[in-house]
Structure 1
Amino acid sequence: MPQHQPTLMEPILSYNNGNGNNSDYDVMNWFEDLSQNAGFVQTQLLCQILEQNYGVEYLKKWLGSYNILEMDACALESLFSSVVPLASHADFEPFMQRIADGDTTPLLTQQPITTLSLSSGTTEGRQKFVPFTRHSAQTTLQIFTLAAAYRSRVYPIREGGRVLEFIYSSNRFKTKGGLTVGTATTHYYASEEFKIKQHKTKSFTCSPQEVISGGDYKQSTYCHLLLGLYFSDQVEFITSAFIYSMVQAFTTFEELWREICNDIRDGTLSSRIKSSKMRKAALDIISPSPNLASKLEDSCKELEGVDWFGLIPKLWPNAKHEKKLSSGGDDFMEDKPIPLSQIKVGQEYEVVLTTSRDCTGAG
C-alpha cells in the first residue's frame, strides 16, 4: 500500500512563525497564495488524489486501463473529467455497505477506513454512511485553523479566551465488520485534532470532554449553559455545530435560568444531572460564586421583561460573534461539471463541492 504523501492542503498544519506558534498571518498568506493559483492547485491536488488512489475498486471501472503514473497533470485532469462521472452518495452506497460489513480491500481509498460517520439524514430522511479516516480529522482541523485566522482578523480575541460551544457527542456502535460508527462530530470531538484545535485557535471550550460526550442531550445542555455562564466574562464567542442546537439551548435556558443561577451561587449541580462522570467533571470546575449569581439573576429578570431580546450581549458581554451551521442535501442539476479555474465572469453556475478528498468523483 502506498505511503501517505503530504498534499497541497497540508502545509497549514505545520505553518508557524518561527517560534513554534501558529501564525494567523502565515496561514492566511498560505491560503491566499493557493487561491490566486486556483487552477494550478486544483489540477495538482486532483493528481495527488489519483496517484494515491487510482488502484481502488471504484476508480478501476473508469481508469483501470490507463497508466496514471506516466501521465502529466493536465492530461490526467482531462481524462478524469471526461471519463469519471459526477456522483452522489447513492453511487458509493454499495461500497460503503461492503466496508461496513468488513471488506478491507481498497474500495474507495487506499487509506484504511476503520471508522464510518453517519450523515445528518436531512437529504432523504435517513442517515447514511460516510468514510472517516485520520485525514478527515486533520482536514477538519485545517478548516478550523484557517477559519479562526480570518475570524480573528475581524473579531480579535484574547489569547486563552473561552468558547461557549453547544456541541454533543452521540453514542457510537460497531458494524458487523467491526467498524466504529457515529456522527462526524462525535468522531472529531473524540480525536486528538479537537484538542489541537483549541491550542491553534487560542481559545478553549467551556465544557470538558465528559460534558460533550455525556450521551444525554438535556444533561449536556444544562452543563454547557452552567459552565458558559460561570466563565461568562471570558467567553469570546458562542458556537454550535447546528443552528437548532443553539435555539434549543437558549429555549432551555429561558426555563431553567433560576436553577442554573442557584448552582453558580452555591457551587452545586442540579439533580437533573444523573451522569456521575458529568457531575464530577462539572463540579471539579465550578466553585461558589454568589456575586456572579446575583449579577446573572438581575440580568435574567431584566431580559424576561423584554422577551429575552439581547440575551447574548447581556450575559456574555465580551462575546464577539456567534457561529452555527445548517445542513442540506447533495442533489445537483449540472450535468457537465466545470473546474473552478474555468468559471467565467457573468455566467451562472451551480456549486458542487466534495468534502471527502479521498472519495474521488464524489459530488
Structure 2
Amino acid sequence: MLLGYDPNDNEAGLKLLEDLTRDANQIQGQVLKEILTQNAQTEYLSGFLDGRVDKELFKKKVPVVNYEDIKPYIERIANGEQSEIISSQPITELLTSSGTSGGQPKLMPSTAKDLDRKTFFYNLLVPVMNKYIDGLDQGKGMYLLFIKPEISTPSGLRARPVLTSYYKSDNFRNRPYNRYNVYTSPDETILCSDSKQSMYCQLLCGLVQRDEVLRVGAVFASAFLRAIKCLEDHWKELCLNIRTGQISDWIADPGCRSSVSSVLRKPDPDLADLIDKECGGESWEGIIKKIWPRTKYIEVIVTGSMAQYIPTLEFYSGGLPLISTMYASSECYFGINFKPLSKPADVSYTLLPNMAYFEFLPVEKSHGGKTTQEVQCNGNSGSHLVEKTVDLVDVKLGQYYELIVTTFTGLYRYRVGDILMVTGFYNNAPQFRFVQRQNVVLSIDTDKTSEEDLLKAVTEAKKLLEPLGFLLTEYTSYPDASSLPGHYVLFWELKAKGSNITIDELMGLESEIMEECCSRVEESLDYVYRRCRAKDKSIGSLEIRVVRHGTFDALMDYCVSQGSSVNQYKTPRCIKSEDALKILDSRVAGRFFSKKVPFWEPYKMGG
C-alpha cells in the first residue's frame, strides 16, 4: 500500500505522516486485506486459509513462525521453484539477513515493488529532518555507504544484503533530486566492492568538499567509526592526494579513480595544510567538528547493540547531536524517529502502518518486573512470551513486546526477534524504543552471536585444554568497543585437574594453546562474524582473559547484592554492567588474542 507524493514537498510529506498515524488502525486493516487478497492462492497461505481473506481466520489458522519454519519454502525458491509458493508477485531477489541460520545468512524474499516501498520510506525521512534542522538544502551529506558480497543461488536469483540491494538499484541511483539527497560520495565509490578502496575514496571526497558538508554519517555507528579509524591511519596520504591533486596509485578500481579525479580536479595545498594541522594535533577530541565545521549532526544508528559506540562517537563529535532516523531490517522497513534530536537513550520509532501488517507478542517479566541492574548484570530480562498477539493500535504504554510482521513479500506472522517497549503514541500510532535483539548476546558490527552460538564455539575451543588436564569451569563475555575495530572478549576461569599448578604457572606454560583457543572460538562462530573479521575488517581479534580462581563467585555475590535471586542465579553469558566488568577485569591473570584470521569465503548456495 503505497501513497504517492512529491518528495520535494515537505508539507505534503508531513501531512502524509499525519494521515498515516491518525488512520493507523484502518490502514493496518487495509494492508492485511491487500496482502491476503494478493497471496490467498499461494501454496503457503492456501494450506491454512483455503483461499479466504478473513482477518480473524488468519490470526486463528496461520501460525506465528520463525525462520526455521519458513526456510524450506525460501530454499525451494532459491533452488528454482516458482515464487507462488509464498508470493503471487515474482520474487526478484533474496535479502541476506545479518542474523544467521546454521552458520549461513538467513534469506528474506523481496519483490520489485518492495524497492518502491523502501524508496517511499527513505523519502519520508526528508521532511522530518527538515522540520527540526534548518538549512539542510544549503549543502551536502558526507554519508559513508558500502556494499557487501552477493550470494549466487541455483535459480539465478541474487542474494545480497538489503542495503547492497538498494544502493545497486535504479531507485537509489535515480533518487529524487533534492539537496538532502546530494552526497559527497560519488555513486561509483559507494558501489566499489573493495571496502578499503571505497572507504578511502569516500573520505577523500568528503575532505575535498569539507566546506559543503552539513551532516555526516553512515548506517551503523560501527561503520562510521571505522571510517574515522581509516582517517587516523591515512590522513597523511589523504593530505598528499589533496596537495597534489592526484589520487594514490593503489586505488585501482576504474570507477573510483574516474569519479574521485573529477572531485579532486586540482591541487589544493591550503586545504591539505589545514587538514594536516588538525589531524596532527595532540588530540582527536572533536575532530569531526574541526574538519567539517558546518556539520549540524551525525546520522548513525546508535540504538540496540550500537549504543556501545556512543562514548567514542561523543569523543570525536565535538558536541554534535547523534541522530538515529529509522528502524528497519532485511524483513521489512518499520518506523521513523519523529523526534530526531532526542538523546540516544530516548530514541523511539513510530511504526508506519502501511509498511506491513504488525502484530506483537507481549513479553511478561518474571521476578516482579525488569530492573536496570538485573538486565545489566544478567544480560537478559528473565522474560517469557505469551502466545496471544496484539494489534498495532492495541499495545499498552510501558509494556514490552516481540515484533511480528506479515509483509507484502511473502512473510506471514514472522517473528523478527526484536523486543520493543511502547513509549508513547503519535496520533493513533504507537512509538517504540528498541530494547534488545532476542537471544543475541554479542554484536560488534552486523554480526549477531546468540548464547547458543557462543556456547558451541567455547565448547569447541575448550577441547584443546582438556588433554592438558585443564577444565573450563565458567565463562562470560562482552563486546569491547573501546578500541577500533571492536572485538569480542571472553572471560575464562580455568582449573587444573588433580594438580596444584597455579594460574600464573598455567599462563606461562600455555600461551600458544590459549591463542589457539581464541582462534578455535572464531573459527566456530558463524558466517557473518567470520566475514566481518576476514573481509570487512570490522571486527578485531577475539580476546580471552583468563581470570583467577573464585572470580565468578565474586561476580555472583555482586549480582545477588543487586537484587538477583540466589536460587535462580545463572552466570550471565554477556556482561553489560560496568561494575560487574570491573570485578572481572580486576582478577585477570592473562590476556590472549587470536593470531589467525578465521577462514571465510563467499557462500554459494548449491555449490
TM-score category (smaller protein): 0.7 to 0.9
1:43 alignment partner, one of 10, 24, 29: 29
Q: Which residue of 2 is the match for residue 315 of structure 1?
A: 291
- Measured after TM superposition, the shift of residue 132 of structure 1 is 2.1
2:222 pairs with 1:244: yes
- Measured after TM superposition, the shift of residue 170 of structure 1 is 2.4
2:1 pairs with 1:15: no
Q: Which residue of 2 is the match for residue 71 of structure 1?
A: none
| More off after superposition, 236-245 vs 322-331 | 322-331
Question: What SS is found at the alignment partner of 1:202?
Answer: helix
Q: Which residue of 2 is the match for residue 291 of structure 1?
A: 270
2:136 alignment partner, one of 158, 168, 171: 158
Instruction: Name the CA distance, whole Å, in 1 between partners of 2:93 and 2:30.
Output: 28
Alignment of 1:1-363 (within 5 A): 7=1, 10-11=2-3, 14-16=4-6, 22-64=8-50, 66-68=51-53, 76-121=54-99, 126-159=104-137, 161-197=139-175, 199-200=177-178, 202-287=180-265, 288-302=267-281, 305-306=282-283, 308-325=284-301, 333-345=385-397, 348-354=399-405, 356-358=407-409, 359-363=411-415
| More off after superposition, 264-273 vs 251-260 | 264-273
- Measured after TM superposition, the shift of residue 340 of structure 1 is 1.1
Q: Over the residues paired in the alignment, what is the CA RMSD in angstroms? A: 2.4
Name the structure with the higher helix share. Answer: 1
Distance 1:322 1:197, change over 3 A: farther
Question: What SS is found at the alignment partner of 1:127?
Answer: strand
> Per-residue CA shift, 1:284-307, capped at 9, x if unaligned?
2212222222222222223xx12x
Instruction: Name the CA distance, whole Å, in 2 between partners of 1:96 and 1:45.
Output: 23
Distance 1:124 1:144, change over 3 A: farther
Contact kept? 2:147, 2:167, Cα under 8 Å:
yes
Contact kept? 1:114, 1:179, Cα under 8 Å:
yes
Contact kept? 2:406, 2:412, Cα under 8 Å:
no
Instruction: Name the CA distance, whole Å, in 1 between partners of 2:48 and 2:95.
Output: 27
Contact kept? 2:406, 2:413, Cα under 8 Å:
no
Instruction: Name the CA distance, whole Å, in 2 between partners of 1:317 and 1:285.
Output: 20
Mind listing any 5+ residue stretches in structure 2 that lack a counterpart?
306-328, 332-359, 362-384, 416-607
> Per-residue CA shift, 1:326-350, capped at 9, x if unaligned?
67799973421100122234x6131
Question: What SS is found at the alignment partner of 1:294?
Answer: helix
- Measured after TM superposition, the shift of residue 360 of structure 1 is 2.8
Name the structure with the higher strand share. Answer: 2
- Measured after TM superposition, the shift of residue 126 of structure 1 is 3.4
Instruction: Name the CA distance, whole Å, in 2 between partners of 1:243 and 1:182.
Output: 21
Distance 1:196 1:159, change over 3 A: farther
> Which of the pair has the greater relative contact order for Cα pairs under 8 Å at 6+ separation?
1
Contact kept? 1:173, 1:182, Cα under 8 Å:
yes
Mind listing any 5+ residue stretches in structure 1 that lack a counterpart?
1-6, 69-75
Instruction: Name the CA distance, whole Å, in 2 between partners of 1:309 and 1:269.
Output: 28
Instruction: Name the CA distance, whole Å, in 1 between partners of 2:166 and 2:66.
Output: 24
Contact kept? 1:122, 1:327, Cα under 8 Å:
no
**Number of residue pairs matched?**
337
Instruction: Name the CA distance, whole Å, in 2 between partners of 1:164 and 1:314.
Output: 15
- Measured after TM superposition, the shift of residue 203 of structure 1 is 2.6
- Measured after TM superposition, the shift of residue 122 of structure 1 is 6.2
TM-score by length of 2: 0.52
- Measured after TM superposition, the shift of residue 118 of structure 1 is 1.0
TM-score by length of 1: 0.85
Question: What SS is found at the alignment partner of 1:352?
Answer: strand
- Measured after TM superposition, the shift of residue 201 of structure 1 is 6.3
- Measured after TM superposition, the shift of residue 361 of structure 1 is 2.1
Question: What SS is found at the alignment partner of 2:214?
Answer: strand
Instruction: Name the CA distance, whole Å, in 1 between partners of 2:231 and 2:33.
Output: 50
Distance 1:105 1:222, change over 3 A: closer
Instruction: Name the CA distance, whole Å, in 1 between partners of 2:229 and 2:196.
Output: 12
Question: What SS is found at the alignment partner of 1:50?
Answer: helix
Question: What SS is found at the alignment partner of 1:277?
Answer: helix
Residue identity opposite 1:15 in structure 2: Y
Residue identity opposite 2:153 in structure 1: T
Instruction: Name the CA distance, whole Å, in 1 between partners of 2:280 and 2:16.
Output: 48
Question: What SS is found at the alignment partner of 2:105?
Answer: coil
Question: What SS is found at the alignment partner of 2:104?
Answer: coil
| More off after superposition, 256-265 vs 119-128 | 119-128
Larger-gyration structure (1/2): 2
Instruction: Name the CA distance, whole Å, in 2 between partners of 1:129 and 1:213.
Output: 22
